[in-house]
Structure 1
């Protein structure tokens, strides 16, 4: 997704247990849209090893050495 619609925002907020009204969903969609569009060229290209859960493993390996 490169630019969320208010409907997308409403659905995600509802799934997270924090429902929002239509005006709030519209404001969120219009404010986060440009940031998501900025990442569109690299979307899906980041390797999985950059996933945050591996941070703890890497830190333990560094300390162990």
Structure 2
């Protein structure tokens, strides 16, 4: 698992339509690090069927039947 840098956080924020300066992006990157560190031991071990965006696809296919 990669820990996002302030540059990556800034790019994600811009993509979401939110402008943040470098200091705010650095604080965001530092504040989410503990949560990402907590999930690091199981990163990459969850099966792909638990991936959230697949849920919508499954629900759509059930409704359209």
Question: Quick check: TM above 0.5?
Answer: yes
Unaligned 5+ runs, structure 2: none
User: Once the 2 structures are TM-superposed, how far is the Cα of residue 24 of structure 1 from its aligned partner?
Assistant: 0.7
Give the alignment's TM-score, normalised by structure 1: 0.68
Give the alignment's TM-score, normalised by structure 2: 0.68
Which protein has the larger Cα radius of gyration, Structure 1 or Structure 2? 1
- RMSD between aligned residues: 2.1
State the match for 1:22 in structure 2.
Answer: 22
Q: Which runs of 4+ in 1 moved over 6 A?
A: none
User: Once the 2 structures are TM-superposed, how far is the Cα of residue 54 of structure 1 from its aligned partner?
Assistant: 3.0
Task: Give the whole-Å Cα distance in 2 for the aligned partners of 1:48 and 1:36.
Answer: 19
Determine which structure has greater relative contact order: mean sequence separation of CA pairs < 8 Å that are 6+ residues apart, divided by chain length: 1
- Look up the SS of the partner of 1:26 in the other structure: helix
